[in-house]
Structure formats: C-alpha cells, structure tokens
Homo-oligomer: A and B are copies of this chain.
Amino acid sequence: MRDNAEKDAHKNPHLIEDRIIHAALSGRIAPGERLGEKELSEIFGVSRTLVREAMMRLQARGIVEVSARRGWFVIEPSVEEARHTIDARRALEVGMLVTLDRASPAMIRTLRDHVRAEQKAIACGDRAERSYLLGHFHVCLAETLGNPVLASLLQDLTTRTVLIAALYQSTHDAHESCGEHGGIIDALEQGNATEAARLMDVHLRHVEKALNYRSVSSRLEHLKEALKGSGG
C-alpha cells in the first residue's frame, strides 16, 4: 500500500473516508480519538475543505461526531447505542439470510477464500489485518450475495461494531469468530438459508456477549462510572 496519499486525495474524493474506515476496521483508530481538520489536511495534502466534506459524510454514516469548536472525534457509543447498533446489525444480517434464495458455488468459493485469509492473518499474528478481515467478512457476504446496498449499510454497521468492541474491550476470540464464519458458509452451501440465519444470529449474540459493558475506556465515561460508585 502506498503511503503518499497526497496525490490521490484530489482524484478520489472518497479516499479520506475510505482510509479512516479502513483504519477503524483495522483497530488502528480508537473510539474517542480526535481527528483534527488541520492534521488530516496535512496528512492528505489538501485543504481543510476536502477534509471537512469527508467528515460530513462520515458523520452521516455514524462513524465520527463533532463537538462544536473542539474537534471531530471517532464515536464512543454508549452502552445503549452499542446495543442498538448490534441489534440493527443482527436484524439486517438475519433478514438478509432469511430472505435469501440460494447461494451459488462461485459465491461459496469467494467466501471460503475470505475465511482462509482470516485464518492466515490469525496464524501470522497480524492483528490489524485480522481485525479488518473478521469485520469485513460481513460486508463481503453482502457483496457476494450481490447487493451493494446491503454491503454499504453493513460496512458502516460493522465499523461501528468494531469501534464498540474496542471501547468495551471485547474478549471475543478470533478463532471462534472465524469458525463461526465457516459454519455460516457451510449452511449456505447446503442451501439451508434458515440455518445460516440462525447461526448468524448466534454469532452476533456472541459478539455482543463478549463485550464488557462495564469497562469503558473513555476518560469521561470512566470517570462517570467511577464517581457513580463512590457514593455521591
């Protein structure tokens, strides 16, 4: 991957967003992290205008939020927002599989390749790639089923989920996740969409269960939690 984003940011207006999404999926950008306009404009070699436009789009996608005259920050979902996000994901992905007719052999092949890549990243100990691929599996699934609209929605929801997992110190095992992905593909291959949907439901419940809703790494939330316990 090239490191000189400067030249490309002009030609591809979505480069900034793509990079930020990718970094979030890879766990290289943490929830609560500040994304200064000036900072980004220097990194990408463009003016603040383009950065700002990218941030507006990311805001609409629920990835960043702005605090007036303080800066842009990667979202730090509350426990409630986290639940809603994962619930929405579950609804979408279960619905996607339930309303599915049939998966072609070519689709199965693509998905198997993806899981193989996941396994490789896990074996190599490449944490960033591992995080990215485990999240991207769901986007890949939607893409493979041939619906770009679903894929786009899932990209945003999975990105938010990865941020939630980082914020609430998910203990979800990568191996287990990868295995569950394989199981879903198995069911799809056997033409059993209902079973695939059930497995997806279980998978996403595991994802949520692995969260530790008590340990919030955010400074502010952490403080709130701490003060709540000290008997005020």
Q: A residues bordering B, Cβ < 8 Å?
A: 52-53, 56-62, 81, 84-85, 87-88, 90-96, 98-99, 146-150, 152-153, 201
How far, in whole Å, are A217 and B118 apart by their CA atoms in the complex? Answer: 46
In the complex, what residue of chain B is closest to A100 when comparing beta carbons?
B91
Contact among B53, B56, B91 with A92 in the assembled complex (CB-CB below 8 Å): B91
Q: In the complex, what's the smallest C-beta–C-beta distance from A101 to chain B, in angstroms?
A: 11
Q: In the complex, what's the smallest C-beta–C-beta distance from A14 to chain B, in angstroms?
A: 10
Q: Within 8 Å CB of A93, what residues of B? A: 95
Contact among B57, B90, B147, B153 with A57 in the assembled complex (CB-CB below 8 Å): B57
Are A87 and B99 in touch, CB under 8 angstroms? yes
Prevailing SS type, chain A contact patch: helix
Are A147 and B88 in touch, CB under 8 angstroms? yes
How far, in whole Å, are A54 and B95 apart by their CA atoms in the complex? Answer: 31
| Copies of the polypeptide in the assembly | 2
Q: Within 8 Å CB of A153, what residues of B? A: 88, 92, 153
Q: Within 8 Å CB of A149, what residues of B? A: 62, 81, 84-85, 87-88
Are A91 and B57 in touch, CB under 8 angstroms? no
In the complex, what residue of chain B is closest to A86 when comparing beta carbons?
B149
Contact among B52, B84, B94, B152 with A148 in the assembled complex (CB-CB below 8 Å): B84
Q: Within 8 Å CB of A88, what residues of B? A: 92, 147, 149-150, 153
Interface centre among A56, A88, A150, A152 (most CB of B within 10 A): A88
Are B98 and A98 in touch, CB under 8 angstroms? yes
Q: Within 8 Å CB of A91, what residues of B? A: 92, 95-96, 98-99, 150
In the complex, what residue of chain B is closest to A201 when comparing beta carbons?
B99
Interface centre among A52, A93, A96, A152 (most CB of B within 10 A): A96
A-B pairs with beta carbons under 8 Å apart, 12 shown: A58-B60, A60-B61, A62-B149, A62-B152, A85-B149, A87-B150, A88-B92, A88-B149, A88-B150, A92-B92, A92-B153, A99-B201
How far, in whole Å, are A204 and B60 apart by their CA atoms in the complex? Answer: 26
Q: In the complex, what's the smallest C-beta–C-beta distance from A9 to chain B, in angstroms?
A: 15
Q: In the complex, what's the smallest C-beta–C-beta distance from A51 to chain B, in angstroms?
A: 12
